Amino acid sequence: MFNQHTVHVVIPAYNEEATIAEVVTDFRAEEFVDSVVVVDNNCKDQTNPLARNAGADVIQESAPGYGCAIRAGLDYAAGKGADILVIVEADGSFRASDLPKLLHYLSDCRMVLGTRTTRQMVQQGANMDKLLRWGNVTMAKLLELCWYLPHEPRLTDVGCTYRALWRDTWATIKPGTTEAGPSFSPEMICEAYRRGLRVIEIPVAYGARLGGESKHSDGFTKVAKTATGMFKTIMRKRLRG
């Protein structure tokens, strides 16, 4: 619990047996966390039982896709009465030790975003080469431009999924989120600006995966596909509303 507000961490997972237990354990040990929710998005390995044994609530989401899994997890946590919803990856690239930073900044806004593009915070071996780093910065600057008036946002990483938001923020932006895949991440930000909500971005540590491989940014082809989807989503949200 943080300042009398309950905190639930949502972890979307697809075949993350190599890392899920350690990630759940890390976040459950954080003093502010009340519950960890793992969303089993059609896992074919031992992710589900390993997450349960580590102390997580595990729910199933059969609709494939990163966005679908996060939506299901946020809905579940909100339904359980969570005041603050936190999203984090299942691969171990983020640390629970950064969570207090997100929570403290949440006192001043409706959603706090992490950024992985601060070079001094990117650890050796992390999946953040120049292509991926500057691709995320480019998409962030596009989103900035689209909503420069009236919000004047300052963003550097629309793809970072380590973020925290209030339960009522999710209730407000949820109706406008439809993306099934990684484009859900910038879509959340677009919806927040469309609704006039205040968003703050802060640097977080970004380390190497503890195991497995990235589903969206491992190699040029995946990076290009993800970037194209994000570009289309940002322009659709801005032009079509």
Q: What is the pLDDT of residues 179-195, one digit of tens each?
A: 999 999 999 999 999 99
Please give the pLDDT value at position 129.
66
Report d(CA 103, CA 193) in Å as an integer: 20
- Domains of the chain (ranges, CATH numbers): 7-240 (3.90.550.10)
What is the rounded average pLDDT of the residues 102-108?
Answer: 96
Burial of 107 (0-12, 13-18, 19+ CB in 10 A): exposed
Please give the pLDDT value at position 121.
61
* Count of CB atoms situated within 10 Å of the CB of 31: 10
Helices 184-194, 130-146: axis angle to 10 degrees equals 20
DSSP string, the chain: -BTTB-EEEEEEESS-TTTHHHHHHHHHTSTT--EEEEEESS--SSHHHHHHHTT-EEEE--S-SHHHHHHHHHHHHHHTT-SEEEE--SSS-S-GGGHHHHHHHHTTSSEEEEES--GGGBPTT-S--HHHHHHHHHHHHHHHHHTHHHH----S-TT---EEEEHHHHHHHGGG----STTHHHHHHHHHHHTT--EEEEE--B---SSS--SSSSSHHHHHHHHHHHHHHHHHHHHH-
For the chain, the average pLDDT equals: 90
Please give the pLDDT value at position 239.
84
Q: Are 84 and 164 in contact (CB under 8 A)?
A: yes
The model's pTM? 0.90
pLDDT in tens, 158-179: 989 999 999 999 999 999 999 9
Report d(CA 103, CA 184) in Å as an integer: 22
pLDDT in tens, 106-140: 999 999 999 987 767 665 455 666 767 777 888 88
Q: Are 61 and 68 in contact (CB under 8 A)?
A: yes
How would residue 145 be classed by pLDDT, with cut points 50, 70 and 90? very high
